[in-house]
Amino acid sequence: MKAALHLLILAGIIAVVAGCRPAEKGAITMKTNDKTPDTNVVKVTKTDEEWQKLLTPEQYRVLRQAGTERAFGAAYEEFSKQGAGTYVCGGCGAELFSSKEKFDSHCGWPSFYDPANAKNVISRDDFSHGSVRTEVICAKCDGHLGHVFKGEGFNTPTDLRYCINGVSLKFVPNGEKVPAKPEPAKP
pLDDT at 125: 85
pLDDT at 69: 96
Q: Which residue in the list 89, 92, 138, 163 is annotated as catalytic?
A: 163
Q: Is 141 a catalytic residue?
A: no
Contacts of 135 (CB under 8 A, 6+ apart): 66, 123, 124, 125, 126, 144, 146, 147
pLDDT at 180: 67
> HSE on the CB side for 164, CA within 13 Å?
36
pLDDT at 116: 80
pLDDT at 132: 84
Report the predicted TM-score, pTM, of the whole model to 2 decimal places.
Answer: 0.74
pLDDT tens, residue by residue, 131-155:
788 999 999 999 999 999 999 999 9
pLDDT at 179: 72
Q: Phi and psi at residue 170, in whole multiples of 5°?
A: -130, 130
pLDDT at 128: 80
pLDDT at 15: 35
Are 136 and 145 a contacting pair, CB within 8 Å?
Answer: yes
pLDDT at 72: 96
> HSE on the CB side for 31, CA within 13 Å?
2
Secondary structure, 3-state, 44-66 = CCCCHHHHHHHCCHHHHHHHHCC
Are 104 and 77 a contacting pair, CB within 8 Å?
Answer: no
CA 43/CA 23 separation, integer angstroms: 31
DSSP β-bridge partners for residue 125? 134
pLDDT at 53: 94
Report residues of the chain scoring pLDDT below 70.
1-41, 180-187
CA 165/CA 108 separation, integer angstroms: 9
DSSP string covering 75-111, please? HHHHHHH--SEEEEETTT--EEEEGGGEE--SSSS-E
CATH number of 25-173: 2.170.150.20
Amino acid code (one letter) for 129: H
Are 146 and 162 a contacting pair, CB within 8 Å?
Answer: yes
Nearest to 141 by CA among 125, 121, 161: 121
CA 162/CA 101 separation, integer angstroms: 10
Domain locations along the chain: 25-173
